[in-house]
A and B are shown apart, each in its own frame.
Chain A
Amino acid sequence: MDIDLDPIESIAVPIYHHYHATSAKAITPFLHAIKRGELMGHLSSATGKVLFPPLGACPESGEATHEPVILKDSGTVIGFTTVHLPIPGSKLVPPFTVANILLDGADQTCSHLISECELGDVVIGMRVQAVWRPKDQWDYSLENIEYFKPTGEALVDVDELKQHCLERAKLRVKNRVKGNSTEVHHA
């Protein structure tokens, strides 16, 4: 009787698909920039906010973004978590800390690793600085930054930082209306 058969708990059905994708219009300049060691965001002309990493669309306005802004490689920890479980397929050995970092001059956080400190020392508002891999290893990848490390500067009040960002964005829109140039900005 079928009912007496051992249950089959797994069968292997491997699936492979091959794609020939190209990077998008907005992402291509970002990838070239990171290869040079530059962090390129996009200024949203509708909101005055600098989006990093840039996706080519401003999620608040739905407008296309293309105006490049080169950002510094320092920032502030806005949120973080310490991962204790291994992630399948990941090169990272737990425990490690992943943070949402607001780069100086940006209005949107990006995620990266925090290292060169004790796990318990990471706090919201901590100032951090990128640690780059050796230049000869740079590729079209955010992995050119190995991790961010604490700078030792005083903690930042995140609410005040948010307020500052909002005011700065308004000012950018205002300045733009006056007819500022649209060349590459350095935040």
Chain B
Amino acid sequence: MREVGIIAYAQSPQIRQERALNEVEMLMPMLKVALVESGLTMDDIDFVCSGSCDYIAGGAFSFVGAVDALGATPCKMESHVEMDAAWALYESWLKIQSGEIKTALIYGFGKSSVGSLPDIMSQQLDPYYMAPLWPDSISLAALQANTLLQTGRYNEEDFAAVVVDSRRKAKANDNAQLFGDVSIEQLLAEPYIASPLRRHDCCPITDGVSVMIIAEKSVATKQCERPAFIRGIDHRMEVHQLGLRQLAESTSTTLALEKVKEQSGIGSGGVDIAEIYAPFSPQTLILKDALGLTDTVNINPSGGALAGHIMMTAGLDRMGMAYRAISEGQANRALCHATSGPCLQHNMVSVLEGI
């Protein structure tokens, strides 16, 4: 396996609504920030891969429009995934493994404020049985949360405790949308929006973009004082039909973790921090169990997706936040997780390590 390091990461502030700028206009300044951090120019970038979904802002081919921000004339080697940009990173990582490229720029963007994101997300369900019923993403997450409650492993106080923890840690994250000191009692006094979920159990609607640059070891060590090397990365997917899945477990996450352990020799006991992409608070608990994380690991020091959730980059952002912690010396090893699909259908696990 070729060693690949993250050498730059830039994220726009995770704001509730960006009224003046479109996705390209939000993206351009962040591309510059990431390139400056990497010490590379666009000419040094061998491959560009993005993650976005045109349904979110309702603009057909907005992902093609974003290519203008790259200075893509003459053409770049470019690809796109209609998935979280963490999968754009995975495609780039594979391309480096193949030996075809040495550097890749990954970006993702989401402007969720212009549409009704929970309803738009129902379009990813199967077109015959589920999508015509329009189950929105919050209701499906509530269904999953109730399944978790039924197991007796956790209660609603535990959900609230996840939110308290997220808001507190997010005070240190300049790009966070939701942060501050709240108590479990305060949160439990709030009304349900889809029982057992309250508003604060759901990630906030967010507009923003993120950009990351990765490079094969020879370039990474030259360009970056302390890259975060991807020691292992794997993703696994569960079946589409929710009724066929164990919603209170995340078997695909556990399987991906096992593969990552085989690749890296590092398990969830050997990391300092974990950045988990859980758009709903109960999912943090499901994933914590699936990843076998104990209280010795600092989970979501950035505040996680509950503090800010750029749809289509929130998974890449977990790796970006872990890279930041590693490059700034706050952590040496990080476990990262990304998810896609309803109720944690598809999960990616990776382990990052400093030199």
Contact = CB atoms under 8 A, between A and B. Distances in A.
B20 A55 contact: no
Contacts of B237: none
A13 B88 CA distance: 31
B115 A19 contact: yes
Interface residues of B, number: 31
Interface in B100-118: 114-116
Given A58-B68, A60-B73, A20 B25 contact: no
Nearest to B72: A59
B242 interface: no
Interface stretch (A24-32, A72-80, A90-98, A178-186): A24-32
Nearest to A57: B68
A150 B132 CA distance: 51
A151 B59 CA distance: 36
Interface stretch (A61-69, A128-136, A139-147, A168-176): A61-69
A55 B65 CA distance: 9
A18 B25 contact: no
A21 B59 contact: yes
A87 to B, nearest CB: 15
B127 A13 contact: yes
Chain B at the A interface: SS class: helix
B58 A17 contact: yes
B22 interface: yes
Contacts of A13: 127, 131-132
A154 interface: no
A181 to B, nearest CB: 24
A22 interface: yes
A19 B24 contact: no
A56 B28 CA distance: 10
A7 to B, nearest CB: 14
Interface in B1-39: 19-22, 24-25, 28-29, 31
Interface of B: 19-22, 24-25, 28-29, 31, 42, 55, 57-59, 65, 67-73, 114-116, 119-120, 123, 127, 131-132
